[in-house]
Amino acid sequence: MTSRGDGDQAVLRVEHVSKQFGRRGLLSGAGSVVRAVNDVSFSVARAEVVAIVGETGSGKSTLGNCISGLLRPTTGQVWFENKDVAQDSQGRRSELRRKIQPVFQDPRGSLDPRWPVERTIREPLDANRIGTMRERREKVAALMDRVGLPSFAGRRHPHQLSGGQQQRVAIAAALALDPELLVADEPVSALDVSVQAQILNLFESLRADLGLAILFISHDLSVVRYLSDRVLVMYAGRVVESGTVAQVFDHPVHPYTRALLDAIPAADPGDRRVPVPLKGEIGGAVSAGTGCVFAARCPEAVAACATTVPGETDFGPGHLASCLVAAARRPEGASSTTEERLTTT
């Protein structure tokens, strides 16, 4: 699915990326293929925050790893400033990956417990031999100030810091090489609500002050609405709906998107709506599936959903969704941007 950004300003272009993993049976040893990411395309502009949302198992983290260079796509390409992130040259890959930095869910996994904070933040500069030791230390001090860490924290070890402070250290280390894109994978989900707000404000200031593009991966739609410009909704490896925050949150058209939004706790205590929970687990990621990947769990599915892979339908400028039922009731004048692909059972 294509999510339309500003092509002229795009710092990142993801084109028809798929990622497959082989899987062997426990008894028979027979192999199957898991399509963790299936034909995903979108772009991210400079200073733009694009969110990828979906349940656990939707493929959003795998997609993020393909973009940051931690995984090589099975098919498709990831273009950063018109250069292929997965190209063969080790030197050129290293250069590109300096400009694309990941921020992970649990900072303790990326912070060496033996090192003081100052060394952790300095490590990317040391590894790339950037500047003199004095210049590196000055940059570390500036980065700590940039992310809101007190100067004395530089002498402490990760276990001596709070969860929010640990995440600030991880963000400072990610900023050390002056990246242009952060791939933030559930960066606030392990934090208390009050600390989440502080880290989100930090991301917003980085975007505003440094012009950073941010790919923000999350299952928490409340967080996404606060921070993001555009949203991609993933299910079983596919993007099923995409658009601006206003389009996706205020005018959702895919049943899966509506189910995710219904699950958000109501801010108004007087709101008596009762969300309808989705039954079953994410399916369709394993090979040999046919039809719409959401059909087995969809409360609105019709017979054709089991045998027809829905194409994209345009519900407004840049607002796309892949759903046969939604397409059938789309407003007059809207058009399908991709032909439906028929499969046989």
Whole-number average pLDDT of the chain: 86
Q: Angle CA(191)–CA(196)–CA(202) in degrees, nearest 5?
A: 125
How does residue 343 score in pLDDT terms, banded at 50, 70 and 90?
Answer: very low
Each residue's pLDDT tens digit, 80-132? 988 888 775 565 667 777 899 999 988 887 889 999 999 999 999 999 999 99
Structure tokens at 254: 């895919």
For residue 321, which amino acid is it? A
Smallest CA-to-CA distance from 128 within 70, 176, 68 is with 176
What pLDDT does 265 receive? Answer: 72
Q: Taking 70 as the threshold, does the pLDDT of residue 228 lie above it?
A: yes
pLDDT tens for 315-339 read: 999 999 999 999 998 766 555 554 4
What pLDDT does residue 29 have? 54
Are 171 and 103 within 8 A, CB to CB? yes
Fold classification of 2-342 (topology level)? Rossmann fold (3.40.50)
pLDDT digits (tens, 9 = 90+) for 231-282: 999 999 999 999 999 999 999 999 999 999 988 876 555 555 566 667 666 6
CA dist., res. 127 & res. 329, Å (int): 56
pTM over the 0.95 mark: no
Give me the phi and psi of 95, to 5 degrees please: -65, -45
Distance CA 187, CA 189 (A): 6
Instruction: Give the pLDDT band of residue 287 (cuts 50, 70, 90).
Output: very low
Q: Where are the domains of the chain?
A: 2-342
- DSSP one-letter string for 127-194: HTT-S-HHHHHHHHHHHHHHTT--GGGGGS-GGGS-HHHHHHHHHHHHHTT--SEEEEESTTTTS-HH
User: C-alpha distances in angstroms, 253 versus 2, 39, 137, 311, 329?
Assistant: 16, 21, 51, 14, 10
Residue 266 has a pLDDT of 63
